[in-house]
Homo-oligomer: A and B are copies of this chain.
């Protein structure tokens, strides 16, 4: 098993579609339906007009348990899992209740990923795998292996890492 290459996958914004969740929460709260175009290029924490809102949403119980799964993520991760050691590496430590929510979310959407291969942490710089797919440049910058930037509204102006547009693009990358 340790001859297989290792891939670490971020959760928020990679396995999960956080943006849709932010916009849905904002719509519930204000009645205003923002679109992907409205938020393009904005920082993640300030993607809606109320700059305190995203922080409030992620700090509320239930947010992480009810995240929508990213399009095509389940199928592509299942494929990767057949050929690589796939780890989920998520910053979950800030909000203690999110630990259980994230664990249960993964059990629902990615039941084939063993608990042995789940890592909840703060800093990711002590995680060492061959690949890391993450939407935040700060995590890629301290990573020792091959860092791959998962496309997100908040990282479109960042060009220091190879970009994967979506899960179909992840499939293409690892197929080659």
Residues of A within 8 A of B (CB): 2, 6, 8, 87, 93-94, 96-97, 99-100, 103-104, 114-123, 125-129, 142, 144
**Residue pair A2, B128 in contact (C-beta under 8 Å):** no
12 additional A-B pairs beyond A96-B104, A119-B120, A120-B121, beta carbons within 8 Å, are: A2-B142, A8-B126, A93-B116, A93-B120, A116-B122, A117-B122, A118-B121, A121-B121, A126-B127, A126-B128, A126-B129, A127-B127
**Residue pair B115, A126 in contact (C-beta under 8 Å):** no
A128 neighbours in B (Cβ, 8 Å):
126-128, 144
A103 neighbours in B (Cβ, 8 Å):
93, 96, 99
A129 neighbours in B (Cβ, 8 Å):
126
A97 neighbours in B (Cβ, 8 Å):
100
Nearest CB on B from A171, distance (A): 23
A120 neighbours in B (Cβ, 8 Å):
93, 99, 119-121
Contact of A122 among B96, B118, B122, B144 (CB under 8 A): B118
Contact of A115 among B6, B94, B115 (CB under 8 A): B94
In the assembly, what is the distance between CA of A2 and CA of B138, in Å? 14
**Residue pair B122, A93 in contact (C-beta under 8 Å):** no
- Nearest chain B residue, comparing its CB with the CB of A128: B128
